[in-house]
Structure 1
Amino acid sequence: MFPPADFPDEPELAHRGEELLFVVEGRVEIRFPDRLLVLEKGDAVQFPGPLRHQLRRLEDKSCVLISVSGP
């Protein structure tokens, strides 16, 4: 997954199950309804899929994330 430089204009993502994001390279920001969270290389976050969220990169270089979601 390669996040965009800006938060998308479309509505936040939400889906069933759990989501796990692991930052392989770079820095990203994830926006939840009640907070912003900055993740750096080696950081991970897990949250319920129904929780609305958006993601963007914070560096010009490509950021690579491994996103795992499921029921």
Structure 2
Amino acid sequence: MWRTLAAGDFVSKDAAADWVMPLLPGRRAALIRQAKLQYLGLGDMDWTSDRQQVRRVADDLATPVAALL
């Protein structure tokens, strides 16, 4: 959603991940990269151990979306 609101067009989830990764701090960008790989069928990760980090990433993504809405 952030990518769409910022640029005004629609892209695939993996393209949106590529766009957002440079905007996030290291570990959070790495989680987006892992999610992208899983989306593409290229990775397998148990997200259970990273629940808190995933929540932080979700918050990082939600804040600019809310501001742009």
Question: Into which bin does the TM-score normalised by the smaller protein fall?
Answer: under 0.3
Return the structure number with greater relative CO, CA threshold 8 A, min gap 6. Answer: 1
Structure with the largest fraction of strand: 1
Larger radius of gyration: 2
Normalising to structure 1: TM-score of the pair?
0.23
Structure with the largest fraction of helix: 2
